[in-house]
Amino acid sequence: MTKKRMKRRVLEMPEIKQGNNKFYVGEEDNPTAEISYVPTGEKRFIADSTYVSDEWRGQGVGKQLVERLVQHAREEGKLIIPQCPFTEKVMKENEEMQDVME
């Protein structure tokens, strides 16, 4: 008996670009992956949504987007309120991100 294996095409890691209250991969008006946030007061961002297309799913792109938002929060001296379940999960699982998590 043989097992069928699905081969997933591994892509080069994408360039993460900064847009208006978001970081994204692809074109800003039609991203293939993105994390969006809402500035809240002077000291916080609410991470409200993360999207990764099938093309990038399973390759760590979502985590890279969270990492980029964490880096941005540190640069700006802000905290992240992770309302997006994916962002919250990544931040809770990675101790090095928790300094900017509220």
pLDDT digits (tens, 9 = 90+) for 37-83: 999 999 999 999 999 999 999 999 999 999 999 999 999 999 999 99
Q: Using pLDDT thresholds of 50, 70 and 90, give the confidence band for residue 88.
A: very high
Nearest to 14 by CA among 1, 30, 27, 29: 27
Kindly state the helix (H) or strand (E) to which residue 6 belongs, with its residue range. none
- Per-residue confidence (pLDDT) for residue 13, from 0 to 100: 81
Higher pLDDT, 5 or 88: 88
Q: Using pLDDT thresholds of 50, 70 and 90, give the confidence band for residue 3.
A: very low
Nearest to 14 by CA among 55, 48, 47, 50: 55
Contact 100, 78 (CB under 8 A): yes
